Structure 1
Amino acid sequence: MNRTRRTGGSSGRFRTDRSSQRSAGSARGSRFRAQETGRQNPRPATGRKNGTGARSTARPQEFALPVTLTEPLPAVETFAELALPPRLLAALGAEGVTVPFPIQAATLPNALAGRDVLGRGRTGSGKTLAFGLAVLARLDGQRAQPRQPLALVLVPTRELAQQVTDALAPYARALRLRLATVVGGMGIGRQASALRAGAEVVVATPGRLKDLIERGDCRLDQVAVTVLDEADQMADMGFMPQVTALLDQVGAGGQRLLFSATLDRNIDLLVRRYLHDPVVHSVDPSAGAVSTMEHHLLHVHDADKHTAATEIAARDGRVIMFLDTKHAVDRLAKHLLSVGVRASALHGGKSQPQRNKTLARFKDGHVTVLVATNVAARGIHIDNLDLVVNVDPPGDHKDYLHRGGRTARAGESGTVVTLVLPHQRRAMDRLMADAGITASTARIRPGEAELQRITGARAPSGVPVTLPEPAAEQSERTGSARRGPGGRTGGRGRSGRANTTRTRRSTPRNSQ
């Protein structure tokens, strides 16, 4: 049984006694097959098809994890079975969250017991509450000193940081815990003020947190619970030096929770260096292996691609369209507005306030087409989004999986369509093989019934529409702000605040 004890100091910080977790003969480097919670003798998917499209196969080649024989606690069927504070349970009920998703049911008992957890679950599987509820429950009754947070959640992108904050805000409020969001793209002074005032939980991108530490506005030596969310993207985006430098500043003996859509060799270093005897849970297939997601490769001639994309954008319902560059994004968004499609552009050239406003308009339906670069490939959760279009094919299979992960979330159905020019066919076939996906292939032309059947495409109205440009906010100027990966220049999201307007949702609130 894991024990939690308080150490001295006015902050009331807790540490975890791990001695009961480790057996005397276990070694950090011992290897065995990672436990697949709820799966016996797991087998690859067979690439089943329905009448309209091909479905995914399982992803190959995940590394052998250096974990010891730490037995996981049994999964639960309801949140009421967990040792959660009564106010937290009441908040879950008020938010309509009653039945845990598989990754929540599997990981929460172990995380609440203070164990290190390595959890794999596809995007949209409920990872945010899987770690978030554990963090908040373990901090219940604690109070952070100025500049000394008690829990840290590291994420790769600004959008994901804001999504995590918004998802946890109502539960943090219920326990009177303070959240601070530390990201680039907005004023650093407001973030520094939030940290100086004291925040129990900090949700941060690595670069901006590093800046604030160097300014003396934050220390990590009192952090008792550390979460790495979307760890595979942290590695893919080159954030490992920043992440490891931050983790080295966290006090020894703290709890570590690592969540990822895939457990491949890119996160091997993090697992080996920072997780101690982790309980491993792999309750979902990887990001591309979604049984409710259809994949289509639409072969199109160069001269027809622009018109085909326009007709798809004019469909009923929302769609995200991915392109390679911000200039191509701006051009397509401008064109769509000129022909009567309510489209808006999202890319790294926009300020963070502009990006936040654009996403808000897309979520509330004022914008029906989000034209984006890969900045929208992760950290964006949109209810009832059933179509993602790769106008430009992605650069690699991971980009494909995470672009497609914006749809078919929380058990909903969805379709991923890629427009493929003749010279791109061979490369796209290799990419899909790397992703472990067998897609349906069709040759299409604008105006054809097949394009309409797959995507709902139709001719646009041709009546231009005008959308007000999201106002840019003046960022505070600071000589210490650094630039580089992870969101280097900018400030705070809505720290601890959430939209209190209640709307009917078809996607469960614990899907984030």
Structure 2
Amino acid sequence: MTKFTDLKLDPKVLSAVADAGYETPTPIQAGAIPAALEGRDVLGIAQTGTGKTAAFVLPMISLLGRGRAKARMPRSLVLCPTRELAAQVAENFDTYAKNHRLTKALLIGGVSFKDQDVAIDRGVDVLIATPGRLLDHRERGKLILNDVKVMVIDEADRMLDMGFIPDIERIFEMTPPRKQTLFFSATMAPEIERITKTFLKDPFRVEVARQATTAETIEQGVVMFRASRKDRQPSEKRELLRKLIEAEGEACTNAMIFCNRKSEVDILAKSLQKHGYDAAPIHGDLDQSQRTRTLEGFRDKSLRFLVCSDVAARGLDIPSVSHVFNFDVPSHPEDYVHRIGRTGRAGRSGKAIMICTPGDEKYLDQVERLLGKTIPRLESPMGGSAEAPAEDAPAPERSSSSSRSRSRSSRSRSSSRRSDGDKAKPQDTAAAPVAEQSPEPAETEAPQAPEKQAAEKPAGEKKEQSGRGRQDSRRENKKGDAVVGMGDHLPSFIALSFDQRRPG
């Protein structure tokens, strides 16, 4: 079995690795480190959680052990897609370079430019940065990349997803053509292949696992969820998540919960807090200091649930995450691999549970096609689709009860007409259906035709009318026809005859 002592690393680096408690390199480390020490370009492809960071940090420290950096001219450059991943690379550098006098600078957003300028002006051996902040310093004239000897692109496919490929191409053009380039990623999209063919020279390819595979130590499952009503889906989905957490019991020591949208991250975190769960959000719109505090709390286990966007899906090294919950099915199937890769790391066991709504089934199909297998379906702890509470009876039931009362009213009017033994006039037959269809107060209805209004006026109102309107009323009442009225809610303008409403 290969050991770190077999990889021809600098003795000071080996001492730091031993102090960190490592003896045996992972497959990606065993394959990439010797080629990197020889000065070759390296293209490393491995699933997340396999030690890619150490695979480029260790040879970089050995190569930079001799020499000195010049002001504003870093000797090496590491590009990362997110602030958290860049900060993690910086921590690894501190761990493994403790026996060397190498300097570093971390250029990420959310931090003062002034402090970063001071570090660059002193000269740094290793510059770790996100593409956006690096270009900001370059455009301000604070950074010169002509002396870069080693360049690393970490999580290259995430760079692609976040739209950084044009920035990466610009940065490559700012660096000298004769340099060593190391590419590391969990997946290799066609666009990444194009970049590697353009900027890497005869790279040594290290692929230790089939692209887009998940660790065998992770138990996976998906719950198919359908809400009782469309407007209740968000609240019932959050309830389902809480029940899934409760069903795991003490086995769920901590968990990362992934959402597709930043707004959903905030809503879900507040909901969990409201129900007594120790949870906090993390996404790209939060202040960097808050993101750092949240991650530190999750790492030291003072925080149990981390509700996050895909900003936390790539490259973060949090060794003991027991569960990953996909509150949303990721729209990009590769993100599923990275998300659940937060658990089951370094040979530990882990569990990944996903919630799939009917609208997410197409994305679930894409994930399963990428994995080449079907994710086991789990029984919902809610017993299938949630049922509507009794107090929230659907609107059609209320409508049917109103309909029954209107039907009873209609039958009573019909029986009254039949007992009088007279035929209804045309205006009477027209008025009855209107009354049946209008159980609401009359002031919400539009005025009816004059002949219908005359048929529906109460007898008491008709006595106040004059002229032809009063005569028509007497004629109708003599025949004994039932008058369809509008009760106490009759507006005064309807009681007027047609002639009285006509402008003088």
Using the size of structure 2 for normalisation, the TM-score is 0.71
Secondary structure of residue in 1 paired with 2:223: strand
- CA–CA distance in structure 1, aligned partners of residues 136 and 68 of structure 2: 24
1:289/1:437 contact within 8 Å kept: no
Amino acid at match of 1:390: N
Q: Higher RCO, 1 or 2 (CA under 8 Å, sep at least 6)?
A: 1
Match of 2:89 among 161, 164, 169: 164
- Which piece of structure 1 moves more, 310-319 or 172-181? 310-319
Do the aligned partners of residues 337 and 289 (structure 1) sit closer, same or farther apart at CA in structure 2, a change above 3 Å counting? closer
Deviation, 1:289, is 3.1
Deviation, 1:230, is 0.6
Deviation, 1:191, is 1.0
Match of residue 341 from structure 1: 277
Match of residue 510 from structure 1: none
2:243/2:381 contact within 8 Å kept: no
Match of residue 191 from structure 2: 266
Match of residue 146 from structure 2: 221
**What is the CA deviation profile of residues 78-129 of structure 1, one whole-angstrom value per residue up to 9, with x for unaligned ones?**
1112322221111111111111111111111110011111111111111101
Match of residue 115 from structure 1: 40
- CA–CA distance in structure 1, aligned partners of residues 360 and 5 of structure 2: 52
Mark the structure with the bigger radius of gyration. Answer: 2
Match of residue 492 from structure 2: none
Match of 2:340 among 404, 411, 420: 404
Is 1:393 aligned with 2:393? Answer: no
Structure 2 gap segments, 5+ residues each:
229-235, 385-504
Amino acid at match of 1:440: P
Amino acid at match of 1:324: N
Secondary structure of residue in 1 paired with 2:352: strand
Match of 2:242 among 287, 296, 310: 310
- Which piece of structure 1 moves more, 290-299 or 224-233? 290-299
Amino acid at match of 1:162: A
Deviation, 1:318, is 0.4
Give the number of aligned pairs: 373
Is 1:141 aligned with 2:66? Answer: yes
2:223/2:353 contact within 8 Å kept: yes
- CA–CA distance in structure 2, aligned partners of residues 397 and 427 of structure 1: 7
Match of residue 289 from structure 2: 353
Do the aligned partners of residues 344 and 293 (structure 1) sit closer, same or farther apart at CA in structure 2, a change above 3 Å counting? same
Match of residue 372 from structure 1: 308
- CA–CA distance in structure 2, aligned partners of residues 260 and 361 of structure 1: 27
Deviation, 1:287, is 4.0
Amino acid at match of 2:173: D
Amino acid at match of 1:238: G
- CA–CA distance in structure 1, aligned partners of residues 184 and 363 of structure 2: 30
- CA–CA distance in structure 2, aligned partners of residues 192 and 288 of structure 1: 41
Is 1:441 aligned with 2:377? Answer: yes
Deviation, 1:266, is 2.3
Higher helix share: 2
Do the aligned partners of residues 287 and 187 (structure 1) sit closer, same or farther apart at CA in structure 2, a change above 3 Å counting? farther
- CA–CA distance in structure 2, aligned partners of residues 431 and 89 of structure 1: 40
Kindly report which structure 2 residues correspond to 1:263-302, keeping only aligned pairs within 5 A, or say none. 263-302=188-227
Deviation, 1:143, is 1.1
**What is the CA deviation profile of residues 211-232 of structure 1, one whole-angstrom value per residue up to 9, with x for unaligned ones?**
1111122111100011111111
Do the aligned partners of residues 253 and 386 (structure 1) sit closer, same or farther apart at CA in structure 2, a change above 3 Å counting? same
1:172/1:178 contact within 8 Å kept: no
- CA–CA distance in structure 2, aligned partners of residues 258 and 177 of structure 1: 22
**What is the CA deviation profile of residues 355-407 of structure 1, one whole-angstrom value per residue up to 9, with x for unaligned ones?**
01001111111110111111211132212112111111111201211111211
- CA–CA distance in structure 2, aligned partners of residues 252 and 335 of structure 1: 52
2:329/2:363 contact within 8 Å kept: no
Match of residue 477 from structure 1: none
Deviation, 1:426, is 4.2
Amino acid at match of 2:239: T
- CA–CA distance in structure 1, aligned partners of residues 67 and 356 of structure 2: 54
- CA–CA distance in structure 1, aligned partners of residues 345 and 214 of structure 2: 12
Match of residue 367 from structure 2: 431
Amino acid at match of 1:441: R
RMSD (Å), alpha carbons: 1.7
Deviation, 1:410, is 2.0
1:157/1:379 contact within 8 Å kept: no
- CA–CA distance in structure 2, aligned partners of residues 297 and 381 of structure 1: 25
Using the size of structure 1 for normalisation, the TM-score is 0.70
Match of residue 167 from structure 2: 242
**What is the CA deviation profile of residues 195-249 of structure 1, one whole-angstrom value per residue up to 9, with x for unaligned ones?**
1111100111111001111112211110001111111111222111110111111
2:212/2:371 contact within 8 Å kept: no
- CA–CA distance in structure 1, aligned partners of residues 24 and 381 of structure 2: 45
- CA–CA distance in structure 2, aligned partners of residues 150 and 274 of structure 1: 18
- CA–CA distance in structure 1, aligned partners of residues 373 and 245 of structure 2: 25
Deviation, 1:255, is 0.7
1:287/1:405 contact within 8 Å kept: no
**What is the CA deviation profile of residues 298-330 of structure 1, one whole-angstrom value per residue up to 9, with x for unaligned ones?**
112325422121233454310111112222222
- CA–CA distance in structure 2, aligned partners of residues 425 and 145 of structure 1: 55
**What is the CA deviation profile of residues 394-444 of structure 1, one whole-angstrom value per residue up to 9, with x for unaligned ones?**
112012111112112222222221111234334422332134342101331
- CA–CA distance in structure 1, aligned partners of residues 84 and 363 of structure 2: 30
- CA–CA distance in structure 2, aligned partners of residues 294 and 421 of structure 1: 21
Secondary structure of residue in 1 paired with 2:144: coil
Match of residue 59 from structure 1: none
Amino acid at match of 1:306: R
Secondary structure of residue in 2 paired with 1:439: coil
Match of residue 4 from structure 1: none
1:313/1:341 contact within 8 Å kept: no
Match of residue 13 from structure 1: none
Match of residue 505 from structure 1: none
Match of 2:14 among 77, 84, 89: 89
Identity %: 38
- CA–CA distance in structure 1, aligned partners of residues 191 and 329 of structure 2: 23
1:326/1:347 contact within 8 Å kept: yes
Do the aligned partners of residues 88 and 212 (structure 1) sit closer, same or farther apart at CA in structure 2, a change above 3 Å counting? same
Is 1:190 aligned with 2:122? Answer: no
2:28/2:52 contact within 8 Å kept: yes
Amino acid at match of 2:343: T
Deviation, 1:447, is 7.9
